[in-house]
Amino acid sequence: MLEISAAVESFRQTYGGEPLVFAQAPGRVNLIGEHIDYAGGWVLPMALKRGVTVAAAPGEPGRIRVHSDRFLDAGVAEFKPDQQPPAAFTRFVYALALETKISGADIAVVSDLPVERGWSSSAAFAVAVTSALLALNARAYYPQPLELCRMCQRAETHALGVECGLMDQYVAVYGQAGHALWFDTRLEKHEYVPIDLPDLAILLIDSGQDRALAESGYNDRRRELSQALEQLERRIGKFDSLFDLKPEQILNAAQDLPQISRLRLRHIATEQQRVERFVRQLKTGDAIQLGRLLSASHNSLSEDYDVSTPELDALCDTLTARPGIFGARLMGGGFGGSALALANRHVLDGDLQAALASYTAETGLATEWHAVRPGDGALVTHQDGTTELVREWLP
Q: Phi and psi of 130, rounded to 5°? A: -65, -45
Let me know: does 289 contact 326? Beta carbons within 8 Å: no
Of 165 and 377, which has the nearer Cβ to ligand GLA?
165
CB of 255 to ligand GLA, least distance (A): 26
The answer to whether the CB of 14 falls within 8 A of the CB of 366 is no
Compute the residue count for the chain: 395
Interacting span for ligand GLA (CB under 6 A) from 6-14, 15-23, 29-37, 226-234: 29-37
Does residue 111 contact residue 117 with C-beta atoms inside 8 Å? no
| DSSP code at position 168 | H
Applying CB under 6 A, does 167 fall inside the site for ligand GLA?
A: yes
What x/- string results for residues 119 through 138 when contact with ligand GLA is judged by CB under 6 A?
A: -x------------------
Using rule CB under 6 A, residue 27 touches ligand GLA: no
Position 35 contacts ligand GLA (CB under 6 A) = yes
State the nearest-atom distance from the C-beta of 41 to ligand GLA, in Å. Answer: 9
Of residues 303-342, which lie at the interface with ligand GLA (CB under 6 A)?
A: 332-333
**Could you give the 3-state DSSP secondary structure of residue 282?**
helix
Distance spanning both ends of the chain, measured CA to CA: 25
Which position among 106, 168, 271, 304 is part of the footprint of ligand GLA (CB under 6 A)? 168
Taking the CA atoms of 340, 342, 347 and 349 in sequence, report the sign of the dihedral they define.
Answer: positive
Size of the site for ligand GLA (CB under 6 A): 12
- Name the residue nearer to ligand GLA (CB basis): 30 or 295: 30
Residue 38 interacts with ligand GLA (CB under 6 A): yes or no: yes
- Examine residue 37 and tell whether it contacts ligand GLA (CB under 6 A): yes
Burial of 163 (0-12, 13-18, 19+ CB in 10 A): middle
Element housing 123 (H / E):
helix 121-136
Rounded CA separation 265/274 (Å) = 14
264 lines the binding site for ligand GLA (CB under 6 A): no
Q: Does 145 bind ligand GLA (CB under 6 A)?
A: no
| Segment near ligand GLA (CB under 6 A); pick from 10-18, 32-40, 99-107, 201-209 | 32-40
CA distances to 6, 124, 128, 211 from 1, in Å = 10, 11, 12, 23
Per-residue CA distances from 196 to 172, 177, 281, 347 (Å):
20, 11, 11, 19
Among 106, 128, 126, 12, residue whose Cα is nearest residue 56: 106
Strand-pairing partners, residue 107, are: 56, 66
Catalytic residue among 37, 106, 168, 304: 168
> Residues 52, 164, 340, 379: which binds ligand GLA (CB under 6 A)?
164
Is the Cα torsion angle 156, 158, 161, 164 positive or negative in sign? positive
Q: Look at residue 242 and give its three-state secondary structure.
A: helix
Rounded Cα gap, residues 309 and 332, in angstroms: 13
Which of 7, 25, 34, 272 forms a contact with ligand GLA (CB under 6 A)?
A: 34
Of 164 and 201, nearer to ligand GLA (C-beta) is 164
When asked if residue 274 is in the footprint of ligand GLA (CB under 6 A), the reply is: no
To the nearest whole angstrom, how small is the minimum distance from the Cβ of residue 170 to ligand GLA?
A: 9
Stretch that binds ligand GLA, among 103-111, 162-170, 190-198, 361-369 (CB under 6 A): 162-170
Instruction: Give the nearest distance from C-beta 23 to ligand GLA in angstroms.
Output: 20
Contact criterion met (CB below 8 Å) for 64 and 107: yes
Q: Is 168 a catalytic residue?
A: yes
Q: Which stretch binds ligand GLA (CB under 6 A): 106-114, 163-171, 265-273, 340-348?
A: 163-171
**Is 165 one of the binding residues for ligand GLA (CB under 6 A)?**
yes
Least Cβ distance, residue 303 to ligand GLA (angstroms): 17
Positions in the binding site for ligand GLA (CB under 6 A): 30, 34-35, 37-38, 120, 164-165, 167-168, 332-333
Residues belonging to the active site: 168
